[in-house]
Amino acid sequence: MSYTLLHHTGCSTSRKGLALLQENGVEPEIRKYMNAGEALSVDELKDIAKKMGNASPRDFLREKDAKKFDLPEDLDDEALYKAMVENPRLIQRPIGIKGDKAVLGRPIEKLLDIK
């Protein structure tokens, strides 16, 4: 079963998470979700939330970017998913996905929970 890492090369935490996985023998499939050709859909974000234990999209929202882009705090989950698709900077990273499990790599050591 392959390990997929939602990765942003411009994020130092994401780069450190990738390095940690590789140091522990995990060579993940990299998905650069910030690139237009690898962008996430609403359905994929909902699937990730389900794999995180039916998490809310707020559980993997970059709060500082939500404030920077004046995202209303009272958005419902559906509107929040759509905002994340339209602006992937709102998605916290890195996120590890393997089988029916997903984990937010904050701290990065959590990425090893599903290796």
How many alpha carbons fall within 13 Å on the CB side of residue 105? 27
Q: What is the residue range of 36's domain?
A: 3-114
Q: Tell me how many domains the chain contains.
A: 1
Which member of 3, 4, 11, 16 is catalytic? 11
17 catalytically annotated: no
User: What pTM was computed for the model?
Assistant: 0.94
pLDDT per position in the chain (115 positions), as tens? 899 999 999 999 999 999 999 999 999 999 999 999 999 999 999 999 999 999 999 999 999 999 998 999 899 999 999 999 999 999 999 999 999 999 999 999 999 999 8
Is beta strand 29-31 parallel, antiparallel or unpaired with respect to 3-6?
parallel
- The domain spanning residue 97 has which CATH number? 3.40.30.10
